[in-house]
Structure 1
Amino acid sequence: MNAFGIVRVASATIRTSVGDPAANAREVVGVLERTEGCDVVLFPELCLTGYTCADLFYQPTLLNAAVDALAAVVEANTGQPRIVVVGLPLGVGPHLYNCAAVIDGSGVRGLVPKQHLPNYKEFYERRWFHPARGEEPAEIDLLGRPTPFGIDLLFPVEGAGDAGRDVILGVEICEDLWLPIPPSASQALAGATILLNLSASNETIGKSAYRTDLVVGQSGRCMAAYAYSGSGPSESTTDLVFGGHCLIAEDGRMLAESRRVGDGQPIERGSYWIEADVDVDRLTFERRSAATFEWPVGPVRPFRRIGVGLGLSERPDLKRFVPAAPFVPANGPELNRRCAEIFEIQVAGLAKRVERLPAGTTLHMGVSGGLDSTLALLVAVKTLDLLGMDRKLLHGLTMPGFGTTNRTRTNAVDLMEHLGVSSETIDISGLAFQSFRELGHSPFGIDARHMNLSAFRAALLELPEENRKDLTFENVQARLRTFLLMSRGFVVGTGDLSEMALGWSTYNADHMSMYNPNCSIPKTLVRFLVLYAANHEFPAGPTRDTLTSIAETTISPELLPTSKRGEILQATEDSLGPYELHDFFLYHAIRWGCPPEKILYLSRFADFSKPYPPALVEKTLRTFITRFFAQQYKRSCVPDGPKVGTVSLSPRGDWRMPSDADASAWLRWAEQD
């Protein structure tokens, strides 16, 4: 495992020689030799003998050979910083148990017997095995040493320092998972973060889908990683065929899945395995954030904790997918449904607010020709259509100023016309110019007291590019736009989640509205949804062309003067850094509580739209942290709006933070460079 609590788990199935434990041990050892980089390696139920030995399980010859095979596996793993879990039958007093042996570099650390034995249809386990009830001996002699035995065992990792403090293994066997309350549920409530299931589940039509749902669902309910290893087709096929299905899930999401019999691929009868890196720190954060975890039920019994050895190691690779755009739906069969769901949540939120307004109330919106106002406009139009109201009740106001370009102004006017809303254009340049004079402000050092507006515009065009910083010049224009909108009536907001996180808004200007359907939509998702609407809802024609042009326009508040050619010089991402990075940071910092060092580590494995130099990534992360802390005061008083995804910064919902909190601890990593 590494310093960020990431544990590499392998789930393996072997070529089984039914009734030949020595051969099976050789297969297990062969897999271990090829999975040296893994921290935990899981094998199937009764893998050292074969699950299908039937009445041979009564034979001392088989049972003794199974123990010898276990010794061979222990010897192969001696001194290794790795945990291995194998299945075998063990006689304990008058009973025979179906057991999982947990092995680390020092030997067998514990034995977990199976609790729930299937004895229906094709299964007859109670013919041979005794179900574990918690009354078994707490310890047995195995391989010449006393070994913990029982259903009350958990295995916390030792030797990995702080990184391993929350890495705790819980073990259950096959049928245990299929119960209404699996043992793994109690193990998770007692602290287990990685749940392991040794299984021998035969294949029948449709069974694999249900099995997958069980594994993924249990990982989600337990807020844990769940690894499942199934016996393969080299088990006896006298009556059944076993599929060799291996799965690794984490917190309700599949990380890795093996091939299996019946998946349409050529059948693999040899040993194979899957690997995935599970993030235990993420699981711990999720459990701490979920106030209902461990309540109202607790573990059914006290658990004994048996330490297992696992060291720290740094790996150049990461065996888990790190999405570069975690807020954006992935391409695939569910893409359309996900996009429709996002729009419907936004529409449903705005619709409830609109229907509480007096009949015939006009909705007002600032339409700039940028991404955010375009998405809000699409949502508002869908809302009026849902409510059976005339689109003309939506009044779009475009308010060009000193930084507005012909492209954005044209796009704004054209889009409103295409969508059939009422629209108006008010040039705010004159009002802003008068405000500067009344305030006694000289924008960029230009004394405007004895100029007219035309002369002032001409002076702005002569400004050198390096002298284009004037916050008052920007804020006056932004507040004038909000003043004009709110003077009309009910205002639909347009600001997005990324801007909220960074405080990229003018207080009591674009920061404010009566309702904001975009408040939990980050910038990368805004762009994606606008393009999605262009390509799926307006597949051809001028609306699609306008939406595409908007999506391709440089992101800018257009509050600073343009170039002499009327081009945008104020590119937001030139000031803040790429929004693609900011949204990546936002997701991992807020959704999963990742410290900055871990965010930087994960960013190395994300496939961004283009390669970013490490220095730029670090600089942008510093900007994100600094602004996120400094701009909380704006988030403390934002308008109502719907939560759409897993991250929200609403002060009434997900995010409560002091406006005067100190970011020093979060920036310490940067000081160490």
Structure 2
Amino acid sequence: MAERLRLALAQLDPHLGAITANGDKILAARARAAAEGADLVLTPELSIAGYPPDDLVLKPAFLDACREAVERLAAVTADGGPGLVVGAPWREGERLYNAALVLEGGRILAMRAKHELPNYGVFDDKRHFVPGPAPGPVAFRGFRLGLMICEDWWLPDVCETLCESGAELLVSINASPYEAGKQDRRLSLAVGRVVENGLGFVFLNQVGGQDELVFDGASFVLDPDRSLRVRLRALEEDFAIAEWRREEDRLVCTTSHVAPEEGREESIWRAMMLGLADYVAKNGFPGVVLGLSGGIDSAVTAAVAVDALGAERVRAVMLPSPYTSRESLEDAEACARALGVRYDVIPIAEAMDTFHRILAPVFGNRPPDITEENIQSRTRGLILMALSNKFGDMLLTTGNKSEMSVGYATLYGDMCGGFSVLKDVYKTTVFALARFRNRSLPRGAKGPEGPVIPERVIVKPPSAELKPNQTDQDTLPPYDQLDAILEGLVEGEQSVDALVARGHDRATVLRVWRMLDRAEYKRRQAPPGVKITPRAFGRDRRYPITNGFTALVR
């Protein structure tokens, strides 16, 4: 009977659809594992294809290419080195599975199909795959491995079935997206599975950005005594060997390799960095451009961009109007200098005057209103998009979740852009992130140490500066109240009555709810952005634009 098993945890960042490149990345991980004496290399869920593949799996050519890549990797294992566990969409007859394939000795030793298919939040597995049968253990070099795929272990049944059918170790490959605080929830749930079954547990997760999703890695290993034996770093590619030995008829992990945890603000900041960096790199943009207004949202967005890409790939543009304050001009320039980015100033007063002049015959004697305010925002959007078109840099949108929730944004104006770093970050969290970045340089950041966001940007009242003496609170409740109400409505799906019972003013709650409901058409046209909360706009929260439901208001 075999006494020792060395598992290599290859926490990889696949590029969705880049099948050959993903295969090469897996081979590089296998070469490292071989050098370190590993028996088996684990790679993430759908590591060949990338996750989530969405309707790519409806293309026969895509499925054929995935199968060919798996067969190529299987052939490599004929050299007697480490075996491989890879993930791929796998077609058998008319059935398409989300599969984990064990490659050993030059062939496909075993296939296990995902049994529990999630169909909630950001997940659409049931749209694309059929569930596999309840899995049994995989025999590998004298060990019986309970191999699962992601959702399989979130519910107790699959783990229980594997344990009852003779598994000695629970092993799960995953593509589990980031949410603030989710790492603790995963670990707590995994401890529960260990307690239920008395077996060690291996959680191997994907890392990297894929459109609005970020996969945070943070893979880990639990011993049968529930102790944390291995934890890989979050939000970056990583690699570790977990060695298992037989002791008294059970497998115990003899490795101790635990990466430190991050605080909440650093975790969110690094998730935004990774999401932006991968979006830019995988879509082939040379860099980014953004409007730097002197406000906190654009300052934080610029700082994340510099940390993710480096200052040389970030261009900031101040677009002052007659209503832009001297303080905003000074603060935008100070922020740009602190970050070391290229900084241009393009006044828009002349363009505003031109629009007003050509529209005057049509507008007639109607007094100025929000229309003229939006012309300013759309003028800025036009100029920023012109810079994006001319130089190839992607335009970053700088709005936050509080604004997008209630529609405090201008279509074809400040909503212009290809990616929104703060899309799922409430305004109160933006303030916390600014203070965090001024006192700390996040791991892996390419930006400068020290404060990069002027203190006045953080403490002054937020303003769109589209008319004299304007502040956000002219239109919105104070952000601490607004964000608390929005979290109840968006993340909690709570009723007006429930929020009033928590101490909120009924009229304010009703006002926020109506703004949230009416802004759906704007959000549908917003660019993607990094998912941070349990309920992000986009894949996570899908509401109809045309919606007559008012039962919430009582």
Q: TM-score normalized by structure 2? A: 0.50
Q: Of the two, which has the highest radius of gyration?
A: 1
